[in-house]
Chains A and B, each alone.
Chain A
């Protein structure tokens, strides 16, 4: 059985082994001894580092996932790319929500680093084929709105200029569909919808229900229509109050962070595949025995419909033995009677 088959079986909540899918993004650059800036700007470097990490740890997925600034850069935000950390937005493309009307959808083959992302997807799929999941990524509408305007102005605009802000959200959905479609055409099996700004830590559940749910449904349905094998909604933080809305959003895989009780998450969405929920910082500040214990706890709750993963991206300098511990826990579970 391949890694991709394990993942897809988990999405169907069938028991076919536990997929090991730690969220290895920038950590792959570290283990590949590459400065993050090169990893985030050179598709061959990202692909090479991702494949090396997958082989080193024997995981079931590779991620063509750059940073949260790809879309906003493509639209005209100005970035600074430090040598060895994630990009910093120096000037946002939108000063006001009402300026959204002048935004045009970019051509993913030409705009900013979008072509870099597409090439990375293509290289990964060529190298990996269907042996493992090849995951692309788009920002969800709330997160992209924050990246277009800045988080604080975006949150205030959502209250003060709701109609204009909804235009920003609508544009963000269209952009995510456009960029996601291009990634699927380039070979991604699915696109993670990265939407941390929709977390209940940022906005109340009523906000999610009123402004985001229908838009996320449009996005998930659109990605499925374009050939995504599944939809993966990635919202970090305490998502339990909004989990019941996920099925209606068309979500197949629900990310759950370390602060979410997997028992309660499973009860809230019994038919969804869960991805999580090992504490990301544990890969940096703990030993493998802590990871093993945490994995055992998660798997005691869910042996079906689970991608064994970190609750969010693992730190750049995660201890390799901790990543190995997660993968070992998944594989040991597979042979358990």
Chain B
């Protein structure tokens, strides 16, 4: 779904605004109200969720990006998604990715945020958690048939583990899997230095890169 797709449905605007404000209670009320009034169905709600995150993406230029505002918007988006789809999260319409914070690092705020952004955009995200050994990540990629592995690291001691991932994927016959890195420490490095395909400056940049890959997948 494109970010422009909500433009022809002005009825989504109040919900999008509440989601961006991170006002969970008000967003839930608005979403229920429009659903109950028959003004929009679940798929329109999904469009509002995605539009809200797309607008956060535009707002969060490098200068304005801050975790708190995105977390608040993310919490509201997640609450409305669960309320709209009580059987599960927003339907996954894109491929599967595996995400983890590498062993030795327990700072998982960035990972959690990225998971939420990607789930909202329709990716199926398998979260291996924090302090995660490389072997567990690679196993998850194989088991879940993921097309990308994402690692988020705040501190520099995780760099050696990240550098090993490409080789470990190859050993499992997963050479075609895309490797992405992000987080305060890892984003200081080049993709070459980390032996990965892409280093994302933030969660939204990661989503854009994956969207690009998704578009070119057969």
- Evaluate contact between B68 and A207: CB separation under 8 angstroms: yes
Q: Which residues of A contact B185 (CB under 8 A)?
A: 280-281, 315
Which of the 9-residue segments A125-133, A195-203, A214-222 touches chain B? A195-203
- Evaluate contact between A204 and B69: CB separation under 8 angstroms: yes
Q: Which of A44-90 contact B (CB under 8 A)?
A: 82, 85-86, 88-89
Q: Which residues of A contact B9 (CB under 8 A)?
A: none
- Does A123 reach chain B (CB closer than 8 Å)? no
Q: Which of B35-68 contact A (CB under 8 A)?
A: 62-63, 65-68
- Evaluate contact between A82 and B104: CB separation under 8 angstroms: yes
Most buried by A among B65, B66, B106, B107: B66
- Does A159 reach chain B (CB closer than 8 Å)? yes
Number of residues of chain B lying within 8 A (CB) of chain A? 27
**Of B62, B72, B109, B156, which contacts A316 at CB under 8 A?**
B156
Q: How far is the CB of B55 from chain A (nearest CB, A)?
A: 16
Q: Which of B13-32 contact A (CB under 8 A)?
A: 22
- Does A155 reach chain B (CB closer than 8 Å)? yes
- Evaluate contact between A279 and B188: CB separation under 8 angstroms: yes
- Evaluate contact between A281 and B156: CB separation under 8 angstroms: yes
Q: How far is the CB of B214 from chain A (nearest CB, A)?
A: 27
Q: Which residues of B contact A280 (CB under 8 A)?
A: 156, 185, 188
Q: How far is the CB of A29 from chain B (nearest CB, A)?
A: 12
User: Known contacts A88-B106, A201-B66, A238-B63: does B156 contact A284 (CB below 8 Å)?
Assistant: yes
Q: Which residues of A contact B22 (CB under 8 A)?
A: 159
Identify whether the interface residues of A are mostly helix, strand, loop, or mixed: loop
Q: Which residues of B contact A282 (CB under 8 A)?
A: 188
- Does B75 reach chain A (CB closer than 8 Å)? yes
- Evaluate contact between A85 and B104: CB separation under 8 angstroms: yes
Residue of A nearest to B113 (CB): A152
- Evaluate contact between A315 and B159: CB separation under 8 angstroms: yes
- Does A114 reach chain B (CB closer than 8 Å)? no
User: Known contacts A151-B109, A284-B159: does B189 contact A202 (CB below 8 Å)?
Assistant: no
Q: Size class of A's contact patch? A: 20 to 34
Residue of B nearest to A90 (CB): B106
Q: Which residues of A contact B67 (CB under 8 A)?
A: 155, 201-203
A201 to B68, CA, bound (A): 9
Residue of B nearest to A27 (CB): B156
Q: Which residues of B contact A151 (CB under 8 A)?
A: 107, 109
Q: Which of A127-167 contact B (CB under 8 A)?
A: 151-152, 155-156, 158-159
- Evaluate contact between A155 and B71: CB separation under 8 angstroms: yes
Residue of B nearest to A200 (CB): B66
- Does B112 reach chain A (CB closer than 8 Å)? yes
A130 to B20, CA, bound (A): 53
- Does A4 reach chain B (CB closer than 8 Å)? no
A201 to B157, CA, bound (A): 21
A151 to B106, CA, bound (A): 11
Q: How far is the CB of B162 from chain A (nearest CB, A)?
A: 12
User: Known contacts A202-B68, A285-B193: does B156 contact A315 (CB below 8 Å)?
Assistant: yes
Q: How far is the CB of A204 from chain B (nearest CB, A)?
A: 5
Residue of B nearest to A286 (CB): B193
- Evaluate contact between B68 and A315: CB separation under 8 angstroms: no
Which residue numbers of A lie inside 8 Å of B, CB to CB?
82, 85-86, 88-89, 151-152, 155-156, 158-159, 200-204, 207, 236-238, 240-241, 258, 279-282, 284-285, 313, 315-317
**Which are the 8 A-B pairs with shortest beta-carbon distances?**
A315-B156, A281-B188, A285-B193, A203-B68, A85-B104, A88-B106, A204-B66, A202-B67
